[in-house]
Structure 1
């Protein structure tokens, strides 16, 4: 459905996107990250392929690729949290007078405070004396506002209701934490502003590339992987999952890095499901949530 005045659409036409990109992200320290993988496929059923196979990406390189090399008809799924909890307390950082009013202001705040941090990291942001009160950090440092497992966004509560196991983006400790990836990813989202539409913070445009938040485990569940076994570490498991999504197999044999398999499977899942109207109009995503917390694509 097209809004002629704004040039935006509420749901995409079946041929709106011609390329589908899955990006497994990493917030780890250092310039280059083995945990980053980028995969892409075109419309049809050909196997998604890794972009620059064998390359160890930096976050800055992914940003450059998105700005300068991404096909104009692409939809990009980024495996990171695009914002922090807001709806439960009416603020990202309750009790702080300078708490940003929406997600774009949050991204700008992270960028401003962490501008001197190398490799698009965000250590200075979480070490800020007011902001640190809301995070769980290494060394047993837990802010007084961080309770239990940490606050969740509305979309993360919905993830849990769909059988997933989300972690709070305010938790920066543990192997399963996603907070570091999310904060570094928000620096990337800030720099993409005005270049690529970022759903749902931007309306869905009638043309041009679109980036959005995804959860790779959701793609795995959609491909028939059992709960608790979303990771695929060999080509046989990956090819079985790809077949469930209508994709040709990789043709590979033996082990595969699970970051690469996550990116490949996500690209195939986006190709199959990116045009489903219900995924663009999730029941729990109000206009306010769309501008503050955002949403995980694929969560109904």
Structure 2
């Protein structure tokens, strides 16, 4: 194992300066994972990640959003639009360019664009005519292999992940060239790496049953950590599923980071790596 610390950001796309849904936990090579207790903004998270990149510490950082939209199913992100980008790096740049004036790494301007809106389901019964034939929206290849995964083109409902993912793309654009982002960048021999994670995978590994993937009390969190072979956590001022997701997933990353198979999924081709990316932990 080349990593010495492990971190997880639970992410949020909420239109707020400091969304309640952002949480960060960090674990060392041993000992308990610890929550970094503060009210985060997305720019705060960007600054923290830039500091890690600048220090060059061998840290594996998981972040809970989809880094790209579906591409493989239609051969592009936005069928029928001349501005559709050729790869994920281009997609990040497009979202950034169309949202550059939005504060807090927001994406309201991007979603308000008349052409972009055709591909999304948004609040107020606004269903774009190019949303897709699937009732729930288009999925990436890795999402088809992940039970419970949702389409980033759906922006409605408690389980929607699109807004978090689109704000996350602004974060990835800002980090480009400073922090390797797997699998868009190859796994470097040293230093920090950022990967997409799905906190439900960590919850399952911690023995939390389907339908009960959210932990909101100290006893359940203690039990989940024990099942991951981790020492107990320091007590929290407040237990919510954002904090516990981050803590459990940081502990889980520590247990699986050495697994070579997770860095080379059989279905992950170079084309998928460049356009859709992959969720770390999905075989």
Length-normalised TM-score, structure 1:
0.91
Q: Following superposition, which runs of at least 4 residues in structure 1 exceed 2 angstroms of deviation?
A: 251-255
Structure 2 counterpart SS, 1:130: helix
TM-score by length of 2: 0.96
> Which of 124, 142, 153 does residue 140 from structure 2 map onto?
153
Q: For the structure 1 residues 251 and 62, does the alpha-carbon distance in structure 2 shift closer, same or farther, using more than 3 Å as the test?
A: closer
Q: Which runs of 5+ in 1 are unaligned?
A: 1-13
CA RMSD of aligned residues (A): 1.3
CA contact 1:32–1:56 (8 Å) conserved in 2? yes
> Aligned with 1:57: secondary structure?
coil
Match of 1:287 in 2: 270
Question: 5+ residue gaps in structure 2?
Answer: none
Matched, 1:96 2:44: no
Q: Deviations over 1:77-123 (max 9, x none)?
A: 00001100000000000001110000000000000000001110111
Show the counterpart of 1:109: 94
Structure 1 counterpart of 2:3: 17
Give the Cα–Cα distance (whole angstroms) in 2 for the partners of residues 112 and 100 of structure 1.
12
CA distance in 2, matches of 1:197, 1:272: 21
Please state how far the C-alpha of 1:252 moved relative to its aligned partner. 3.1
User: C-alpha offsets along residues 6-30 of structure 1, whole Å, 9 cap, x if unaligned?
Assistant: xxxxxxxx2x100100110000011
Decide whether the 8 Å contact of 1:234 with 1:254 is kept in 2. Answer: no
Determine if contact 2:197/2:280 at 8 Å carries over to the other structure: yes
Task: Pick the aligned partner of 2:260 from 255, 277, 285.
Answer: 277
Distance in 1 separating the partners of 2:205 and 2:130: 35
Displacement of 1:219 after TM fit? 0.3
Q: Report the number of matched residues.
A: 279
1:86–1:93 distance in 2 versus 1, CA, 3 Å: same
Q: SS of the residue aligned with 2:145?
A: helix
Aligned-partner Cα distance in 2 for 1:253–1:175: 25
The 2-side partners of 1:109 and 1:62 are apart by 21
CA contact (8 A) 1:235 1:254 kept: no
Tell me which residue corresponds to 1:188: 171
Residues 234 and 253 in structure 1, CA contact (< 8 A), matched pair in contact too: no
- 1:213 aligns with one of 196, 213, 222: 196
Does structure 2 conserve the Cα–Cα contact (< 8 Å) formed by 1:236 and 1:254?
no
Select the residue among 245, 248, 255 that pairs with 1:265. 248
1:35 aligned residue (9, 21, 38): 21
Closer, same or farther: CA 225–254 of 1 in aligned 2, 3 Å:
farther
Q: Do the aligned residues in 1 keep the contact of 2:52 with 2:192 (CA within 8 Å)?
A: no
Matched position secondary structure for 2:6? strand
Tell me what 1:84 maps to: 69
